[in-house]
Amino acid sequence: MNDRLNPDEIARYQRDGYIVPRARLSEASLNRITAAYAELGRAHPEIGLDFVPSPHVPNYVPGLVDCQPWLDFAALPEVLNPVEDLIGGDFLMWGSAIFGKPANDGKETPMHQDGEYWPIKPLASVTVWIAIDHSTNENGCLRVVPGSHRSKDLYQHRRDDDGAYTLNQVIDDEAIDTRDAVDIELEPGQFSIHDVHLVHGSRPNVSGQRRAGLTYRYMPTTSHFDHEYAGEMTRTMGTTDMSDRVLYLMRGVDRCGRNDFSAGAGDRLPLVTA
């Protein structure tokens, strides 16, 4: 199947702040991801699978060193092509995470905007959210507020460290109108893409079905991933420390000329692009 986005899909992304492309991952790619996730769970029973940050960075989660597959998946052409259609031909990958949502007690992801805690100037990124399992209303699929990205405003977020959520930055219900929120239900191998300003979250998983999703964050290189500002955000807001975050140029060149591709040198794995 042609994995490029058509003009209608691009227009819907711009209007709603997210899209589920009509193309999906090949069966071979999905099988590789599913097998890698099973292996991660088998080799690391000590890791809480609700939220696995940066599986593509060795030892980011202490002891997790078999990270190459997770970097390889970030470079799948069937993922990069639609990303390029949305943000242009010059972009880098700076983040990944697995939101595993185990059956019966998978944690809620509170409503939030990703941009609240990312050190990117000007703020720009897309997230690709790949369904490893069926992702449904029952098992806590991604929920988004369509159009909430358009003003590019960031809502007031509250920090919540009590461990009930996958993330600690929360927009309180009173602050946003979630009446128009929609569920993004996906089959394994389908994926959604959402904008950095979009309000989104997901409910807890109280069903008997696991709901694992794999995410990658890509930003156009017209923006600057500011490592210094990242350190400042950690000190003042308590955000995850991204001051040494490794950046991978996925396509094109560094347009702004300020992105530091030497950061996190010891963590850098070889990037193999097709």
Q: Which residues of this protein are in contact with ligand AKG, per CB under 6 A?
A: 99, 109, 114, 127, 129, 142, 200, 202, 213, 215
Rounded distance, CA 33 to CA 242, Å?
25
Q: Residue 146: how many CB atoms within 10 A of its CB?
A: 17
Closest to ligand AKG by CB, 5 vs 130, is 130
Rounded distance, CA 61 to CA 55, Å?
7
Partner residues linked to 86 by β-bridges: none
Closest to ligand AKG by CB, 29 vs 202, is 202
Closest CA to 129 of 101, 157, 170: 101
Closest to ligand AKG by CB, 153 vs 228, is 153
C-beta of 202: minimal distance to ligand AKG in Å?
3
C-beta of 43: minimal distance to ligand AKG in Å?
22
Closest to ligand AKG by CB, 29 vs 96, is 96
Closest CA to 109 of 141, 135, 145: 141
Closest CA to 98 of 136, 132, 75: 132
C-beta of 213: minimal distance to ligand AKG in Å?
5
C-beta of 264: minimal distance to ligand AKG in Å?
21
Rounded distance, CA 48 to CA 252, Å?
36
C-beta of 253: minimal distance to ligand AKG in Å?
27
Closest to ligand AKG by CB, 84 vs 114, is 114
Max CA distance (Å), the chain: 48
